Amino acid sequence: MNTRIETFRRDGDHCDDPDHDHSGGRCSLVVQMITEYLEGALPDDKRERFERHLAACPPCVRFFDQLRAVSAIAPLLRCADVPPAVEERVLRFLQDKTA
């Protein structure tokens, strides 16, 4: 995870990206690229442009943080315990099927 983003401003409602009129600086495109960024799939030029935009756009940083929170919670999702008799039932099933 790129810790540089942790230092970006999160307060405020305005995008101050001076290149906003150019396609690479649009909030709408940056939002679509968040997962590509988090997965390390952006080429260097797009990654740098992405980070420049976040440095100037608190709303995008907040949205970015919220998507990251989803990922942080995911490993905590619980799973039911395996019923104790499953293994023996499966072995009996396979014994019958493969005899």
Residue ranges in contact with another protein by CB under 8 A: 10-11, 13, 15, 20-21, 26-29, 31-32, 34-36, 39, 41, 59-60, 62-63, 65-80, 82-83, 86-87, 89-91, 93-94, 97-98
Residue 33: HSE in the Cβ half-sphere, 13 Å Cα cutoff: 24
Closer to another protein by Cβ: residue 18 or 93? 93
Minimum distance between the CB of residue 41 and another protein, rounded to whole angstroms?
Answer: 6
Residue 16's identity, in one-letter code, is D
Minimum distance between the CB of residue 48 and another protein, rounded to whole angstroms?
Answer: 19
Residue 22's identity, in one-letter code, is H
Closer to another protein by Cβ: residue 4 or 93? 93
How far is the C-alpha of 29 from the C-alpha of 33, rounded, in Å?
6
Closer to another protein by Cβ: residue 7 or 80? 80
How far is the C-alpha of 67 from the C-alpha of 71, rounded, in Å?
7
For residue 70, give the 3-state DSSP assignment.
helix
Minimum distance between the CB of residue 24 and another protein, rounded to whole angstroms?
Answer: 10
Residue 54's identity, in one-letter code, is L
